[in-house]
Amino acid sequence: MLSVAAEDFSLTTWKGDAFRLIPSRFPPVSVYDGLVADGRVEALVAVEDITNPRLRSIDRLARLRPGVPADAPRLQNWNHAPFAYGNPEGSRFFDHLRPCLELAADRQTALAVSVARRERFLARTREAPIGLDMRMLRTPAEGRFVDLRHVPADLDAKACREIGARVSSEADGVLYHPPERSSATCLAVLRASVLGRSIQTVHYRYVWTGRRIALLYAFDDEGREVRPETLGGEEDVLAA
């Protein structure tokens, strides 16, 4: 089993743009559309907001830190929601009790990670062939991270969680090599305060065949097609 010495948990500064993909749904549809009369929607939303974890977290932060402006990057929905809701399955290095936001240091790695995770989810739910629309977010980040890039990208999940459990609460997160693209860098951000405002960039369509994601279409000026199997290599396949 890999042994990680105490000195390997020292903090290093990382600053730059980081990337992730989230589902893109157009047009946005209210969960209540077609279920209740229009005149009751506002009241239902008000009741729902009382128990909304994200809104409760923002309210709690405002009371504890009254100086935090309402438009602070950490309160932006895209930045705040991952910490308010968390992932019941946890992340690569942390369990569900320590929510984090996983980002990639470049666009290609963000796509490689996103495609792999979507494939696992769609296979698990036995989804029929479909086109999934996704959008890439660019998020500036600057903080003090534990550099775990010496940890093998193919290390098993149990060992990764054991390493994550030793990460100090003083760390803003960890840097690591993802198994989806072992030559690249990813970040697991533990504090939303190290994030700048997220910005939408390129939209993509993932073509799911019922067994795998076979192709990506980019809705950019070039309208390029990307083969998912090329994303995990060292070559920059997104270069112009």
Rounded-to-integer distance, Cα 214 and Cα 196, Å: 33
What average pLDDT score do residues 99-124 get? 97
- pLDDT band at 62; cut points 50, 70, 90: low
pLDDT tens per residue, range 224-239: 999 999 999 999 999 8
- pLDDT(68) > 90: no
Specify the DSSP class assigned to residue 128: P
Nearest to 152 by CA among 163, 168, 144: 163
Residues paired with residue 138 on neighbouring β-strands, in sequence order: 19, 199
Q: What percent of the chain has pLDDT over 90?
A: 64
- pLDDT(54) > 50: no
Q: Which pLDDT value is given to residue 65?
A: 52
Q: Which sequence spans correspond to the domains of the chain?
A: 11-230
Rounded-to-integer distance, Cα 55 and Cα 48, Å: 10
- pLDDT(148) > 70: yes
Q: Which pLDDT value is given to residue 71?
A: 61
Q: Which pLDDT value is given to residue 159?
A: 96
- pLDDT band at 86; cut points 50, 70, 90: confident
Q: Which pLDDT value is given to residue 64?
A: 46
> Distances from the Cα of 101 to the Cαs of 11, 40, 140, 147, in angstroms?
18, 35, 13, 16
Rounded-to-integer distance, Cα 197 and Cα 201, Å: 13
**Tokens 């073509």 sit at which residue?**
207
- pLDDT band at 76; cut points 50, 70, 90: confident
Query: Across all residues in the chain, what is the average pLDDT?
Result: 85
pLDDT tens per residue, range 180-208: 999 999 999 999 999 999 999 999 999 99
